[in-house]
Chains A and B, each alone.
Chain A
């Protein structure tokens, strides 16, 4: 697969999705703004907890803001640029991949990039705001923040693809895959010191909140070359795993006999 045309295609998908989101300008701004309000209301819980106890497992409010900043940015990025990943299982079980299979473009990239969620911009805005308030957006830390958000977003998309690809073998798994993905997000938003032992192992495997949240957050909290490489390797590893599982599943895919045109 030639890299340059694929990148050009990915860029075109992003641009098309952005235009589609902005076409309904009022709905776009409303969704984004309400998501910011929603996130701030959610964060209030943590603010209240830290206001009362100051320290949870050695973490302070600033650390929690960093968690929220990185994970909200990563999650927002994943649903803005890879919003189609959350619909994969439905496409697989309904035969919705048919129109994509006849196109001379990578099927997974096309499916993942075929939708964008406007509220994700609200998530990203919240993330940037939190990181700013936590004092993590200065000139020296900015590259680490960008790397953390990008790797978090990659892992979120890869994990969604993995969970949703179960539909190739198990049929309609929309609820299950959505639930597993939500668990990943839920745990990624908790302070890492809360979990240890067997649970920690689960959070780096079955529900990989560790790679979507804990590890990228550490890249920002304690920037180092080793952590950056670890986060990059994790994102790449999860993406390759998702690609492999999707390709394996695609061999079992049965057409839904859909006749439709796709531009």
Chain B
């Protein structure tokens, strides 16, 4: 593929992302609702750490760090648009057949739209999360330098989640209703990903299981940066994250080929 061709293809997908971001910006009530929801969850869990006495929770991390941990993990998770629903709706209605004949990859365009929307959500929810965390915990973490690493790791986390959502959405070609898959994936992300509190608080055996999966990369990896300055850990998480991005793209290529074949066989 020549450089000019790459530029054209990239331009097409960027146009999809920009259009989706503009659409998401127009839906202000959804954005405000998500910000408020984030604040509500942060409030509820800040109460838990307050009641427990967070000093006994994790050595080196107090109530303030744990609230910031949750703020970062919720920021990553709530920024992911429900891409699987969009794909499922098009498969159900049959509209996917019209999308497939366009001169742009179906899955690629869907992912681009989700990335555009996620970028906007990250930009809006980031300051909201920081503001709520600051207000509820009374300041920044003891060593706030780690928060800088949370930004790129949050982007990688969101990208991994979008790719997973695309895979769940594509499963609609086989099972029609993808919600059950989503629920399970979402809850695995919550539990094995360490959404609500750091994996370090889990029993050792469960920590080992969690780290053998990609789920911590979507929550724990960026959020862990709120607990202290850990550049080596950040680099390791980023590399692991990129590896999983590659694996998931490979999976999506295989799934979309099979889905296309299945659609042709059944007549769309």
* Interface set of A (CB-CB < 8 Å, partner B): 27, 30-31, 33-35, 37-38, 41-42, 44-45, 48-49, 51-53, 56-57, 119, 175-176, 179, 182-183, 186-187, 190, 193-195, 199
Give A126 Cβ to nearest chain B Cβ, in Å: 12
Q: Could you say which of A31, A42, A176, A183 contacts B180, with CB atoms under 8 Å apart?
A: A31
6 closest residue pairs by CB, A with B:
A41-B187, A34-B180, A38-B183, A194-B47, A57-B51, A179-B33
Q: Knowing A41-B187, A41-B191, A44-B191 touch, does A51 contact B51 (C-beta < 8 A)?
A: no
Q: A38-B183, A186-B44, A194-B51 are in contact. Are A175 and B190 (CB under 8 A)?
A: no
> Chain B: interface secondary structure?
helix
Residues of B within 8 A of A199 (CB): 43
Chain B contacts for A57, CB-based, 8 A: 51
Shortest beta-carbon distance from B78 to chain A in Å: 12
A193 touches B51 (CB 8 A): yes
User: What separation, in Å, do the CA atoms of A230 and B206 have in the docked complex?
Assistant: 42
Question: Which residue of B56, B187, B195 contacts A38 across the interface (Cβ within 8 Å)?
Answer: B187
A195 B47 Cβ-Cβ under 8 A: yes
Q: A34-B183, A35-B183, A187-B44 are in contact. Are A41 and B188 (CB under 8 A)?
A: yes
In the complex, which residue of chain A has the Cβ closest to the Cβ of B47? A194
- With both beta carbons as reference points, the residue of chain B lying nearest to A32 in the complex is identified as B180
Residues of B within 8 A of A (CB): 29-30, 33, 36-37, 40-41, 43-44, 47-48, 51-52, 56-57, 177, 179-181, 183-184, 186-188, 190-191, 195-197, 201-203, 206
A34 touches B184 (CB 8 A): yes
The CA of A30 and the CA of B175, in the complex, are separated in Å by: 11
Q: Across the interface, which residues of B come within 8 angstroms of A51, CB to CB?
A: 203
Q: In the complex, which residues of chain B have a beta carbon less than 8 angstroms from the beta carbon of A31?
A: 177, 179-180
Contact B191–A49 (Cβ < 8 Å): no
Chain A residue contacts of B36, Cβ below 8 A: 179
Q: Which residues of B contact A179 (CB under 8 A)?
A: 33, 36-37
A-B contacts counted at CB < 8 A amount to 82
The CA of A48 and the CA of B56, in the complex, are separated in Å by 15
* CB-CB nearest in chain B for A34: B180
Kindly provide the distance from the CB of A139 to the nearest chain B CB, expressed in whole angstroms.
34
Contacts of A49 on B, CB cut-off 8 Å? 48, 197, 201
B52 touches A186 (CB 8 A): no
Q: Is A176 touching B184 in the complex (CB atoms < 8 A)?
A: no
With A30-B177, A48-B201, A190-B48 already in contact, 6 other A-B pairs whose C-beta atoms are closer than 8 Å = A30-B180, A44-B187, A45-B190, A49-B48, A53-B56, A190-B47
A39 to chain B, nearest CB (A): 8
Question: With A and B bound together, what is the CA distance between A193 and B57 in angstroms?
Answer: 19
Known: A37-B184, A41-B184, A45-B190. A176 touches B179 (CB 8 A): no
CA distance A177 to B68 in the complex (A): 29
**How near does chain A come to B235, taking the closest CB pair, in angstroms?**
28
Nearest CB on A from B125, distance (A): 15
CA distance A49 to B202 in the complex (A): 8
Interchain CB contact under 8 A, B40 and A186: yes
* Chain A residues with CB below 8 A from B30, complex form: 175
What residues on A are CB-neighbors of B206 within 8 Å? 48
Cβ of A175 and Cβ of B180 under 8 Å apart? no
Complex CA gap A34/B177 in Å reads 12
The distance in angstroms between the C-alpha atoms of A27 and B180, with both chains bound, is 10
Contact among B47, B177, B184 for A27, CB-based, below 8 A: B177
- Chain B contacts of A48 at CB under 8 A? 191, 197, 201-203, 206
Taking a contact as CB atoms under 8 Å apart, the answer to whether A53 and B52 are in contact is yes
What B residues does A44 contact at CB under 8 A?
187, 191
Sample 13 A-B pairs with CB under 8 A, ordered by A number.
Answer: A30-B177, A33-B180, A34-B180, A38-B180, A41-B190, A44-B187, A45-B196, A56-B48, A56-B51, A175-B30, A175-B33, A190-B44, A194-B47
Closest B-chain residue to A33, C-beta based?
Answer: B180
User: Given A33, A175, A190, which contacts B29 in the complex, CB threshold below 8 Å?
Assistant: A175
